[in-house]
Amino acid sequence: MIDVLRAALRLPSAKIAVGILIVIAFLAIFGPLVAPFDPYAQNSKDLLQGPTLEHWLGTDDLGRDVFSRLLAGSTVSVLAAMQSVVVGLVLGALPGLLSVYLGRTFEWITLRIMDSFITLPFLVFAIAMTALLGNGLTQAMVAVGILIAPAFYRVTRAAALTVSHSQYVEAAQLFGATTAWVVRKHVWKKVFPAIAVTTASMTGASLVIVSSLTFLGIGIVPPEPTWGGLLATDLGNLYQRPFGPVVPALVIIGTVWALNALADALKDATTDAGAPPVSKQKRRELQAVPHGA
Amino acid sequence: MTTDTIARRQPPVVTPADPAISADAAASTRPATPVRARADAWHHVRGVLLWLVRTVLIVVPVFLFSTFITFLLGAASGLNPAATLAGDSATPEMIAQLNAQYGLDKPIVLQYLDWIGGVVTGDLGTSWFNHTSVAELIGQRLAISASIAGFALIIGIVFGTLLGLVAAVNQGRFVDRAITAVASFMSTLPPFVVSIGLIVVLSVWLHLLPSAGYVPPQQDFWRWLSLITMPAIALSLDTVAEIARQLRTGLVATLQENYVTGAVVRGLSRRRVLFGHALRNGAGPAVAILGMKIPTLLGGAVVTETIFSMPGFGMLSADSALRGDVPVVQGTLVVAIVLVLFFNIVVNVVLGGLRPASRRVR
């Protein structure tokens, strides 16, 4: 695991990505504490201000300090994305692994369930489920978790399938290895990196969905500050503060980009690590294999 | 979430599309005798039938299960027409009477069967709010979403194909790396961020395009076009990036195949090799992505529609969900599910048609 991480971090883009993620993690943990103003405090004297020394990112239409709201909103935005990934991981990876071992009926049923999850329209379903079931953060997280579960199911199942049909696993079984032992010893080594890559990219995806939901005022209800909610407020005041959305948008884009870059670096590192060194020409040929064709 | 298991499942065994190709292959591999031809025809029909059976066996359970999830949402919400209409002032008798009227006093499975029976015949129920038929409501809104999605799709196909082609032809050079980098950046941009950016630049600063509203094309075509331009661009970025990336991957792989080298050796022009030979086989992944994107573009535009104040399909669903209008929400979800399944089947058929005859399983 360590060598994979080290290999992944050799890429400059991965270094930048980890840097960004550390900053975001700091914001999420300490943001509400270091916020210079009360994120809920309204001030009718300073409405819709531009950036000043006092208010770094200006104030919104109720005179609230935007910088403080951005900091205070970090925790819930990041946590919501991470929690929905955990839901997706449990709902997807576990059946994905078991589908390889629990026989064809279980396999068929889980495949059809995942197909059904995929046919659910992404944002519409998240909105419908959250709004109909009480408009809370928990409902939103479960909805997003259901939507991203098929991604986890697919990669886990694919990784487990390739290992369980490999010769060294067959050899181990001939020597009397139990399924549990094979899973712990061999399958896990292939499945874990695949899950790590998917976790990174799905955290980015669910951050976008959670931001979209909060942008619409669903799941987390205003005045509680969120990244998406900040953008919604800015949208109403574009003519007075056209620069308003820039920083919240950059924070969202930066985080999503960092997560995707990290996923790419991890993917490269896990496919390269442990394999014999290949020439540039050979690697290009290997990469040229079309996905899903 | 770009490819999915439905798309990844192998395309149909033998497809009815493109008789020219299969005839070609048959002629080149074996002598055409009447017996052979009859056997081939039977083989063909059996392949199509097998594919149909297999598709039905997958699509029907998936349809039933995903609609059941949709239905359960309504049942689990505990909402009922009386509470939705009258709020807290609803009396228990009123609730019971309206529940009976809407069939909500029956067991859930029976309710589901009633509802899905209606869905199959095109009856999506009536709204709890204004007693309009849900199918009619969706029909009105779908035109708006279709305008945006259609325009976004055109942008996506044109620019995605262009970028993908240029990148594949210049594989490994600066242009290729630049396009790949731009594409991967574009796909990280959430539509609502792009929408706000477009409004700031094109409406607030340059006063080029109106920032919100909708007019039907019959009423004022140019106004309609100017209104749908920004939402379409915002929605299309992801499609542009995805098509460019998949087309590049597919084409790069195809351009390394022996038959392409053969065509080059025989002295065919680069253009002819690219468009006549490679594109057909390299387009597979891009076509698959396209099929996945169409339903997303139609149903997933909730945020974009809200930003540009376009009363489309997505907004109908979101508004109804917030109001607690369960039948409308269920109706929009079912329509979206049907769209996804429909385009999945279309993609499979098209992919089967694109596949070289030699690789079809016989």
ipTM confidence score: 0.78
Residue B30 has pLDDT above 70, yes or no: no
Q: Across the interface, which of A121, A130, A215 has its CB nearest the CB of B303?
A: A215
Does B106 have pLDDT greater than 70?
yes
Chain B residues in contact with A114 by the CB 8 A cut-off are 5
DSSP structure class, residue B274: I
Cβ contacts below 8 Å, chain A against chain B, sum to 179
In a domain, B60, yes or no: no
Question: Is the confidence at residue A264, as pLDDT, over 90?
Answer: no
Tell me if chain A has a CB within 8 Å of the CB of B296.
Answer: yes
Could you tell me if residue A53 is inside a domain? yes
B6 in contact with A, Cβ within 8 Å: yes
pLDDT of A90-134, one tens digit each? 999 999 988 888 888 999 999 999 988 888 888 888 888 888 888
CA A62 to chain centre: 32
Q: B306 CB near a chain A CB, below 8 Å? A: yes
Chain B residues with CB-CB distance to A208 below 8 A? 190
What pLDDT shows up at residue A72? 83
Mean pLDDT of A3-30: 84
Average pLDDT, chain B: 78
Relative orientation angle of helices A246-272 and A227-236, to the nearest 10 degrees: 140
Q: Is 70 exceeded by the pLDDT of residue B15?
A: no
CA distance A227 to A234: 11
CB–CB of B329/A132 below 8 Å?
Answer: yes
B307 belongs to a structural domain? yes
Percent above pLDDT 70 for chain A: 90
Buried/exposed code over B263-282 (b: 16+ C-beta within 10 A; e: otherwise): beeeeeeeeebbeebbbebb
State the pLDDT at residue B225: 83
The answer to whether residue B191 scores a pLDDT higher than 90 is no
Contacts of B300 in chain A (CB under 8 A): 121-124
The pTM (predicted TM-score) of the whole model is: 0.80
The answer to whether residues A206 and A81 touch, using CB atoms and an 8 Å cutoff, is yes
Residue B278 structural domain: 12-37+139-359
Query: Is B285 in Cβ contact with A131 (below 8 Å)?
Result: no
pLDDT-based confidence at B360, cuts 50/70/90?
Answer: low
Smallest Cβ–Cβ distance between B321 and the set A132, A253, A288 belongs to A132
Q: What is the Cα–Cα distance from A292 to B9, expressed in whole angstroms? A: 9
pLDDT bracket for residue B358 (50, 70, 90): low
Element (H, E) at B269: none
| pLDDT per position as a tens digit, B126-137 | 888 878 888 888
What is chain A's mean pLDDT, rounded?
Answer: 81
Section A269-273 average pLDDT: 65
What is d(CA A179, CA A172) in angstroms, rounded to the nearest whole number? 10
Q: With CB atoms and an 8 Å threshold, state whether B337 touches A121.
A: yes
Residue B95 is assigned to a structural domain of this protein: no
Provide, rounded to the nearest whole percent, the portion of chain B with pLDDT above 90: 2
| Closest Cα in chain B, distance from residue A53 (Å) | 24
Are B336 and A121 inside 8 Å of each other by CB? yes
Give B190's contacts in chain A (Cβ within 8 Å).
208, 211-212, 252-253, 256
Judge whether B129 lies within some domain: no
Q: Which residues from B are below 8 Å from A285, CB to CB? A: 256
Judged against a pLDDT cut of 90, whether residue A86 lies above it is answered with yes
- CA B131, CA A244: separation in Å to the nearest integer? 42
How far is it, in rounded angstroms, from Cα B120 to Cα B115?
Answer: 9
- How many domains, in total, are found in chain A? 1
How many angstroms separate the CA atoms of A184 and A189, rounded?
A: 8
Mean pLDDT of B316-334: 86
Are the beta carbons of A293 and B58 separated by less than 8 Å?
no
Mutate to test the interface with A, among B200, B203, B297, B304 (most CBs of A within 10 A): B200
* CB-CB under 8 Å, B197 with A132: no
Is the pLDDT score of A87 beyond 90? yes
Higher pLDDT, B190 or B2: B190
Mutate to test the interface with A, among B193, B203, B280, B351 (most CBs of A within 10 A): B193
Express as a percent the part of chain B with pLDDT over 70. 85
Predicted local distance difference test score (pLDDT) of residue A88: 93
In chain B, the number of structural domains is 1
Selected residue with higher pLDDT from A142 and A34 = A142
For range B342-356, the mean pLDDT: 79
- What is the token pair recorded at B194? 């792009």
Q: Please give the average per-residue pLDDT across A52-74, as a whole number.
A: 79
pLDDT of residue A85: 94
Write the pLDDT tens digit of every residue in A183-209: 888 888 888 888 888 898 899 888 988
Confidence of residue A281 (pLDDT cuts 50, 70, 90): low
Q: What is the pLDDT of residues B257-295, one digit of tens each?
A: 888 888 888 888 878 888 877 887 778 778 888 877 887
| Overall average pLDDT of the B105-120 stretch | 82
C-alpha to C-alpha distance for B55 and A51, rounded to whole angstroms: 59
Spell out which residues of chain A touch residue B66, defining contact as CB-CB under 8 Å.
Answer: 116-117, 119-120
What is the pLDDT at residue B19? 39
A119 → closest Cβ in B1, B249, B337: B337
Q: Which pLDDT band, with edges at 50, 70 and 90, does B119 fall under?
A: confident
Average pLDDT over residues A51-71: 78
> What pLDDT is attached to residue B356?
60
Asked if the structure places residue A215 within a domain, the reply is yes
Instruction: Classify residue B259: in a domain, yes or no.
Output: yes
Distance (Å) from the alpha carbon of A162 to chain B's nearest alpha carbon: 16
pLDDT at B309: 85
What is the model's pLDDT at position B355?
A: 65
Of A113, A212, A292, the CB nearest to B288: A292
Share in percent of chain A as helix, strand, coil (round to 5): 75, 0, 25
Out of A32-46, B39-53, B123-137, least confident range: A32-46
Decide if A215 and B192 are in contact by the 8 Å CB cutoff.
Answer: yes
Q: Which chain A residues are within 8 Å of B197, Cβ to Cβ? A: 245, 249
CA distance B254 to B56: 32
Q: What is the CATH number of the domain that holds A239?
A: 1.10.3720.10
Q: Which of A208, A228, A292 sits opposite B3 (nearest CB)?
A: A292
Quick one: pLDDT at residue B299?
67
DSSP string, B207-227: --S--S----TTT-HHHHHHH
Q: Indicate whether B100 belongs to any domain.
A: no
Give A95 to chain B, closest Cα distance, Å: 15
**Residue among B66, B172, B329 minimizing CB distance to A128:** B329
Is B295 in the A-facing interface, judged by CB distances under 8 Å?
yes
Tokens, residue B57: 């066996």
Segments forming the whole domain that contains residue A118: 2-288
Residue from the list A131, A242, A257 with its beta carbon closest to the beta carbon of B322: A131
**A293 within some domain:** no
pLDDT-derived band at A261 (thresholds 50, 70, 90) equals confident
Question: Model confidence at A84, in pLDDT bands (50, 70, 90)?
Answer: very high
Q: Is the pLDDT of residue A278 over 60?
A: no
Mind listing the pLDDT tens digit for each residue in B172-189? Answer: 788 888 888 888 888 888
Domain CATH code at residue B305: 1.10.3720.10
Given this model, what pLDDT does residue A244 score?
Answer: 78
Q: B336 by DSSP, 3-state: which?
A: helix
Contact B1 A238 (CB under 8 A): no
